[in-house]
Chains A and B, each alone.
Chain A
């Protein structure tokens, strides 16, 4: 019975990871990835590893989405610029 919270966290991580893979658009993948980072932090916490959860929270909830979104924006801007110069 005490493992119910572990089961909940594991199910959430499994579902979110599947959703992150199933999406095709990088912006939407980054959104799912941000929630996945939070769920992983919860999983680490209920497995009694709060230090790992702390670093996962710091990296997963803000830094990874920021890096992905910045790269997506740069790639989109560059491809739009390339199309303009071809015309």
Chain B
């Protein structure tokens, strides 16, 4: 067990633990926030796992999650728009913390891998993760009033 897998274990334990608690209890707005954060917290864990197992093909999982996680949150933001309009769920502190975690993990892995094709892939994953997460958070908190008509 090397340090990368240990770091991935910590990130996954904290991420999945908090999202389990958030998604299983509380009002609907908090559950949607937790579902959005699960993507932002599990994706860095998958990146660390791919480094820990020393298999670069595992980065594909993080890439797909960074692409599809915000899509899933947007599905909920669109189809639960009527319920969420009353609560206006926003957790910008948590959102920025998760985005910062993703950025730090991507930066560390880029520094380890060095310049090359895999570094470009890592940067794409990081950009998709942070951008998609912020977009989904904004859509959730009613940031796009024109499209929330269900």
Contacts and interface: CB of A to CB of B under 8 A. Distances in A.
Contact of B35 (A9, A31, A58): A31
Interface in A16-65: 16, 19, 22-23, 27-28, 30-32, 34-35, 38-39, 41-42, 45-46, 48, 50, 53-54, 57-58, 61-62, 65
Query: Is the interface on chain A under 10, 10 to 19, 20 to 34, or 35 or more residues?
Result: 35 or more
B61 A12 contact: no
Interface string B66-85: 00110110011001100100
Interface stretch (B38-46, B100-108, B118-126): B38-46
A38 to B, nearest CB: 5
B76 A31 contact: yes
Interface stretch (B18-26, B91-99, B109-117): B18-26
A45 B16 contact: no
Contacts of B12: 5, 8-9, 12, 42
Contacts of B57: 50
Given A31-B23, A35-B35, A66-B75, A12 B1 contact: no
Q: Could you tell me the dominant secondary structure of chain A's interface residues?
A: helix
A62 B32 CA distance: 14
Given A30-B76, A69-B79, 14 more contacts: A9-B12, A16-B16, A16-B23, A31-B32, A34-B38, A38-B38, A41-B65, A50-B60, A57-B65, A61-B65, A62-B68, A62-B69, A62-B72, A65-B75
Interface of B: 1, 5-6, 8-9, 12-13, 16-17, 19-20, 23-24, 28, 31-32, 34-35, 38-39, 42, 45-46, 49, 53, 55, 57-58, 60-61, 64-65, 68-69, 71-72, 75-76, 79-80, 83, 150
